[in-house]
Amino acid sequence: MDMLKKLSPAAQAVLGGSVLYLIFSFFDWQQACGGAGGFKVCAGVSEWHGFGGTITVLSAILLLAWEIVRLLGVKVDLGGISHGFVSLALAGLLLLLTVITFVTHNEARHWPAWIGLLLAIGIAAAAWMRGKEEGVEMPDVGALRGSGPGSPPPSPPSDESAS
């Protein structure tokens, strides 16, 4: 318990939010009810239903496992990639997949789907704040834009001071 208290509030939010997300993934994200004469029958499916939902929950499990590894202080060599960047990337992946699942599984959407979406947004926001605290640097998109195949070669620097 002392290890959890030593974490920053953003790290606690990522870890706790991931646990809650995993719990809510078992609830019915889609549910329909019907019946007649006072007899009501409900049927639903959790986020685990279908390939997309399963991949989304597996990304949440991966994020949770990564956060536990970080909490326990296990040394993992990732080359030049920082641990904070991995957390941020996994949280971003979880948010992206959750939004896709939320939008595509829109028939008979039930309240746990909204909770899952809010949790994914909160986890991503907390991971972003934590990344900023840890000094995670994002790649310069402008520099990447001109370096792809088919892009013109960089122009040579002009030497206006020579004239």
Does the pLDDT of residue 17 top 80, yes or no?
Answer: yes
Q: Is the pLDDT of residue 118 over 80?
A: yes
What confidence tens digit (pLDDT) does each residue in 19-30 have?
A: 999 999 999 989
Helix (H) or strand (E) run with residue 27 in it: none
Q: Residue 117: name the closest of 29, 45, 13 by CA.
A: 29
Residue 4 scores a pLDDT above 90: no
Using DSSP's 3-state secondary structure scheme, residue 69 falls into helix
- 124 near 94, Cβ under 8 Å? yes
The answer, yes or no, to whether residue 144 has pLDDT greater than 60, is: no
Mean pLDDT of the residues in the chain: 85
Which CATH class name applies to 8-30+42-136? mainly alpha
Q: Give the closest residue to 121 by CA, choosing from 96, 86, 103, 84.
A: 96
Q: What per-residue confidence (pLDDT) applies to 161?
A: 54
Query: Which DSSP string corresponds to 88-136?
Result: HHHHHHHHHHHHHHHHHS-TTB-HHHHHHHHHHHHHHHHHHHHHHHHT-
Dump pLDDT digits (tens) for 37-85: 888 898 998 889 888 889 999 999 999 999 999 888 888 887 878 888 9
At 147 the pLDDT is 55
| pLDDT confidence of residue 22 | 96
Q: Which residues pair with 45 in a beta bridge?
A: 30
The DSSP output letter for 146 is T
* pLDDT for 136: 81
